[in-house]
Amino acid sequence: MEQTQRAQLENLLNRLSDLNKIGASLSSERDINRLLESILNAAKKITNADAGTLYLLDPVNQWLAFEILHNDSLGIHLGGTSGEPIPFYPIHLYVDGKPNHAMVVSHAALSGETINIPDAYIAEGFDFSGTKKFDNKTGYRSRSFLAVPMRNHESEIIGVLQLINAIDAVSGEVKQFTKDDQQLLESLASQAAIAISNRRLIQQLEDLFESFISLINTAIDDKSPYTGGHCERVPVLTMMLAEAANRTKQGELQHFNLTDKDRYELKIAGLLHDCGKITTPVHVVDKATKLQTIFDRIQLIDTRFEVLKRDAYIDKLEGRLPADQYETRLRQLDEDREFLRRCNIGGEKMKDEDVARVWNIAGYRWVDFKGEPADFLDEEERENLTIRAGTLTAAERQIINHHIVATIKMLESLPWPRHLKSVPEYAGGHHERMDGKGYPNGLKREQMSVQARLMGIADIFEALTAKDRPYKEGKTLSESLTILGRFKENGHIDPDLFDVFIREKVYLEYARRFLAAEQIDEVDESTIPGYTP
């Protein structure tokens, strides 16, 4: 007898030890589905139950929804991380406006009391018709029940834990849940309720935080529809490349591993990587042509050409310009006008002879609206029309580049929690270069995290392929990868991450999701500059 008592005491102590360990593990779980599954598994373990269900209260609909359902004898694992939906209707707490005390779990939720039933087939006061139908259909025998309400730190019922069929550890027979089982499960239910409430609160705060980020990106998008897509796509591509780097088992990146915390931190950094653009003037962000400000000033230059053509016509009428020279003059002016229109469209690289021709045209004389003789193009127009690549002047490019300084300043001003402390560094490094020639801090590769380096590749590739920019068309896959490969060769981007980007087909995964069909051309990886398989 004394030996039996010692064994029972030792068993209880072991179960209490398990309960303490379970409580510690519940508080550290971030994923709500894994958390719920851990709770149910723990409940079954400490009571040696064969089956169980975890219900959560929906306060709006006033019902208990099935979240996790396990039955070891039948091999049933539904809900939670299984991905398999539970095909049962929720348990209503009220039927026709009256409390539903007929069901065990609804009574437990309404009363706040634990329900311990030795044998459902002889129990009175509860409706077990659904249980018996389930048993008839499956051949199972649902006998002992233990339903415990889950009450959070504010004494609110948030759900119910229900276990079925306690198994005797020696005989393997179904038995009643003991008083010790009940007390242990009540303790676990209390810890579980707090863990669930905390996880929900954290999730709500994270949702709120991400909503604020979305608010910022919406404001940027409202200023310029051309950057809205960029703010959406770069985080997605960043995570694609991060997962590919996480998978790789060769080179420097073989030791790069992402935890769930790391993933969330990088996701937030990706969403915020261009938040500083909220300070960038919209006429610079959306500058589609070299002469565009509030409107495209090429129209003013067109008017000047008409003035020169009018002057030439007057000269012809008054005999100062022979007819053949007049026709030659008109043709020259028309050709010059078309040439300046072409120059106004930002290209890859402007030729020296084209720059010289712009300067020559700039020297034409005309009479301005004040009646004063003036150069055909003023200094600012000459500067814009001779931009070597793109549509931005050096000063405007500095304004654009300042967005990353603003981004870093904004992000570093926030009181980041420990698990998000690297967000400013990740987001603020995507315009740095591996050779130290980037901006704003001129960092070199060894001074940057892998996360910041991979975000730089994502930012460049998105920009190359983007088809929603006002100043260029989206490039094809092969064109973009060729340019990206040259960036690897000249020390612009991380070489190992570039190789992963190609080898793991990240570019193709991204293309299938975001690129137009005509952009997805055949890619011969062996011809990509700098690529090492």
Cβ(481)–Cβ(489) under 8 Å? no
pLDDT band, very low/low/confident/very high, at 502 (cuts 50, 70, 90): very high
Give the separation between CA 27 and CA 17, rounded to whole angstroms: 16
CB 326 within 8 A of CB 316: yes
**CA-closest candidate to residue 39, choices 200, 193, 198:** 193
Q: Average pLDDT in the 164-177 region?
A: 93
Lowest mean pLDDT among 16-30, 117-131, 227-241, 517-531: 16-30
Closest CA to 86 of 95, 94, 78: 78
- CB neighbour burial string for 290-314, b if at least 16 within 10 angstroms, e if fewer: bbbeeebbbeebeebbeebbeebee
Residue 496, helix vs strand vs coil? helix
Helices and strands (H and E) in the chain: how many: 18, 12
For residues 9 and 43, give the distance between their C-alpha atoms in angstroms, rounded to a whole number.
19
Other beta carbons less than 10 A from residue 373's beta carbon:
9
Which residue has tokens 């398989």? 533
Q: Measured between alpha carbons, how far is 142 from 122 in angstroms, rounded to an integer?
A: 12
Distance (Å, whole) CA 267 – CA 79: 27
Which of these CATH numbers, 3.30.565.10, 3.40.1390.10, 3.40.640.10, 3.30.450.40, describes 2-202? 3.30.450.40
Q: Is the dihedral of CA 53, 56, 58, 63 positive or negative?
A: positive
For the chain, which residues make up each domain, given as ranges? 2-202, 224-284+395-527, 298-389
Percent of the chain with pLDDT over 90: 65
Fold of 224-284+395-527: Hypothetical protein af1432 (1.10.3210)
Contact between residue 344 and residue 354 where contact means Cβ atoms under 8 Å apart: no
* pLDDT at residue 11 is higher than 60: no
| Tokens of residue 114, six digits | 């634990």
Question: Per residue in 93-114, pLDDT tens?
Answer: 999 999 999 999 999 999 999 9
Using the predicted structure, report yes or no on whether residue 441 has a pLDDT greater than 80: yes
Give the pLDDT score at 284. 82
- Which tens digits make up the pLDDT trace of 265-284? 999 999 999 998 888 887 78
How far is 38 from 510, CA to CA, in rounded Å? 35
**Which pLDDT band holds residue 15 (cuts at 50, 70, 90)?**
low
pLDDT band at 489 (very low <50, low <70, confident <90, very high): very high
Cβ atoms of 269 and 455 within 8 Å: the answer is yes
Give the integer Cα–Cα distance in Å for 3 and 5: 5
